[in-house]
Amino acid sequence: MQKGDLLYEGKAKRVYLTDDPTLYIVEYKDTATAFDGLKKEELTNKGVLNNSIAALFFLMLQGAGVPTHFIKKLNEREMLVKALQIIPMEVIVRNIAAGSLSKRLGLAEGAPLACTVLEFNLKNDELHDPMLNHYHIQALGLATPQEVARMEELALRINDLLRPFLEKRDIILVDFKLEFGRSQGEIFLGDEISPDTCRFWDAGSGEKLDKDRFRRDLGGVTDAYAEVLRRLQEVK
């Protein structure tokens, strides 16, 4: 398998073609961004940590029967994935109030939610990833009602798998973002699951172990990511 041309460069990853049209290579960069790319910094080793962390999450989910794009980790910064046609939506799962939900609805960060909340956003930095309801998704032709139902089912299942997995490692899964794509008529989990795309709080101290450390200038960003990786690698 040969690495080919750059297909797409995002804020935190690059996607390359390969000589097999069904496979892509994803390279994790050290760039950290927030506020739709307004705040940007290079954080040495972040890409290496996120590649390892995402690989471990994908492996766990695949083992539990969740279809993901992950095939294998290739090296420190790269993983081999199934080529997907990405649906340009972010699926956000929330267990505890934080971030934009707290702001919009006036809820204290850390406030419990009576049920898990699912949100859909359009992936569009210029428009600041506006929230979509089911009508918007149909009106824009982003995904069929069946695909939306499948993404909701998978997002809730992933939450049900991730929460206890992380709880065993003394990490509270506050919220996270998923992206899905199509391959041969089926929906697969794509993108990444990492401290860039999740809120992780230490179960004992409540300390933030995710990209909020960067967004809010708390310092120790990659130390927190390394701590997440260390806990994921612990045999439990």
Where are the extended beta strands (E) located within the chain?
A: 3-9, 13-18, 23-28, 31-34, 39-42, 70-73, 78-82, 85-86, 89-96, 112-122, 131-132, 171-178, 180-183, 186-189, 198-202
Q: Which is nearer to ligand TMP, 177 or 213 (CB)?
A: 177
* Number of residue whose CB is nearest ligand ASP: 33
Could you tell me the sign of the dihedral formed by the alpha carbons of 82, 84, 88, 89, in that order? negative
* 136 in Cβ contact with 124 (< 8 Å): no
* Residue from 11, 150, 163, 182 binding ligand ASP (CB under 6 A): 11
Instruction: Please identify, among the stretches 28-36, 46-54, 74-82, 138-146, the one whose residues bind ligand ASP according to the rule CB under 6 A.
Output: 28-36
* Number of residue whose CB is nearest ligand TMP: 99
Contacts of 156 (CB under 8 A, 6+ apart): 93, 116, 118
Q: Which is nearer to ligand ASP, 147 or 210 (CB)?
A: 210
13 makes contact, choosing from ligand ASP, ligand TMP, none, with CB < 5 to 8 Å by partner type, with none
Angle between helices 221-233 and 46-63 (to 10 degrees): 30
* Residue from 82, 123, 182, 215 binding ligand ASP (CB under 6 A): 215
Contact call for residue 37 and ligand ASP (CB under 6 A)? yes
Closest approach of Cβ 198 to ligand ASP, in Å?
10
Q: Which is nearer to ligand ASP, 30 or 170 (CB)?
A: 30
Contact call for residue 225 and ligand TMP (CB under 6 A)? no
Closest approach of Cβ 117 to ligand ASP, in Å?
18
* Residue from 100, 116, 138, 183 binding ligand TMP (CB under 6 A): 100
* 222 in Cβ contact with 45 (< 8 Å): yes
Please name the residue that has the structure tokens 């993983």: 79
* 92 in Cβ contact with 159 (< 8 Å): no
